A = this chain, B = another copy of it.
């Protein structure tokens, strides 16, 4: 794949049925003129509506506009008048786009800035009128039908194994929340600890069979086969990931235990002792939850255990527009209430829900550190726009988990009539989950 198709493939606008709400095409990008007084008013008003975050704006003529209600820790520089109008008319989408294109520059740590913005806006929203709330969240997520799902997944996960290898852990290429059972763990240790925690929750025994929906680069399947001696059928629709997964299983001598299958989770066949899915539910889409429930119901043996691990919300709410449009088309993080429609329609009994929100903030901080250390290589692979977009994506996600805008749920469930249950969850904590450093 050439660099230019890669770029076009990953960061272009996704198709949408809806025109932009304000036409600002006519506003000049010229930086020759001074700001108008209503532009100053607009940006000050914008700061107030956003809950007076500790932020000052620097306009294209170097003029500073700041709230008199909070001391600014961050400076946001708008490169031209059009950037100002784009930001105030659709901040959710424009903030990321302007940052990616370099027309909004940030002085200060990007993750800290985003955290401050999330917190301020979260508080301010309690006072917002309904129309503003509606404008803020108004976007049409992509479909996640079988064919669209392929395109959505290709968009993100087929960026190239080379790219992800630059900054993910070197243990099992995990692109999901790690488990920092103690705060000093390395990314590698914490990712292996996550895999171990999942196996313990599933109560895996040698010789059992497991099906995995959405297996990424196949790390969990290899961990389960290697550490627990189970047989795994691992499904994924990302071809590049599967090629990597198969080669790695071969290298580790695990091919006899793992079958990596290029197919949609809806086509899973057979019955298993465990059903597991780590970080796929976000891409399933609410409309397909009952379908997913039917898949799990028919795939799980009478005493089988299921575990879904997913980004979620405290309340139903669309994915951030910029993330959904530019990074993860079709993504939707469910609230537990929404999540439960899977368990309810499948007549499952939920045994355990754990929220690992701050573990994802810690994971993202580790990813960011590595990403920043390789950003020149990333820019060489793609371009500066791509690098800035990913910087924004990692910083924004860190902030969302820190500020409580996103959650990370692990939900364990089984058939409603399965009485083969453990009395406590102490087996999860009988020994450290992470390997020694």
Which residues on the B side are within 8 Å of A407 (C-beta)?
349-350
Which residues on the B side are within 8 Å of A316 (C-beta)?
344
Which residues in chain A, 344-381, are within 8 Å of chain B measured between CB atoms? 344, 347-355, 357-359
Query: From A427, which residue of chain B is reached at the shortest CB distance?
Result: B429
Query: From A312, which residue of chain B is reached at the shortest CB distance?
Result: B350
Which residues in chain A, 147-191, are within 8 Å of chain B measured between CB atoms? 180-183
Out of B180, B315, B336, B426, name the residue touching A336 (CB < 8 Å): B336
Which residues on the B side are within 8 Å of A336 (C-beta)?
336-337, 340, 343, 350, 353
Q: Is the CB of A355 within 8 A of B350?
A: yes
Once bound together, how far apart are the Cα atoms of A240 and B347, in whole Å?
40
Q: A423 an interface residue at 8 Å Cβ cutoff?
A: yes
Q: A344-B316, A416-B314 are in contact. Are A358 and B421 (CB under 8 A)?
A: yes
Which residues on the B side are within 8 Å of A348 (C-beta)?
314
Nearest-CB distance from A178 to chain B (Å)? Answer: 11
Q: Is the CB of B355 within 8 A of A354?
A: no
Once bound together, how far apart are the Cα atoms of A119 and B415, in whole Å?
13
Q: How many copies does the complex hold?
A: 2
Q: Is the CB of B314 within 8 A of A347?
A: yes
Query: From A418, which residue of chain B is reached at the shortest CB distance?
Result: B404
Q: A194 an interface residue at 8 Å Cβ cutoff?
A: no
Q: A425 an interface residue at 8 Å Cβ cutoff?
A: yes
Q: Is the CB of A423 within 8 A of B315?
A: no
Once bound together, how far apart are the Cα atoms of A342 and B89, in whole Å?
34
Q: A252 an interface residue at 8 Å Cβ cutoff?
A: no
Which residues on the B side are within 8 Å of A416 (C-beta)?
122, 314, 404
Q: Is the CB of A423 within 8 A of B358?
A: yes
Which residues on the B side are within 8 Å of A423 (C-beta)?
180-183, 358-359
Query: From A345, which residue of chain B is reached at the shortest CB distance?
Result: B315
Q: A337-B340, A341-B337, A344-B315 are in contact. Are A417 and B404 (CB under 8 A)?
A: yes
Which residues on the B side are within 8 Å of A421 (C-beta)?
357-358
Instruction: List chain A positions with a Cβ less than 8 A from chain B.
Output: 119, 122, 180-183, 314-316, 335-337, 340-341, 343-344, 347-355, 357-359, 402-404, 407, 416-419, 421, 423-426, 428-429
| Nearest 5 pairs of A and B residues by beta carbon | A337-B340, A353-B353, A426-B429, A404-B416, A315-B344
8 new A-B contacts at CB < 8 Å, known A181-B423, A181-B426, A425-B425: A335-B340, A349-B355, A349-B357, A349-B404, A354-B425, A359-B423, A402-B419, A404-B419
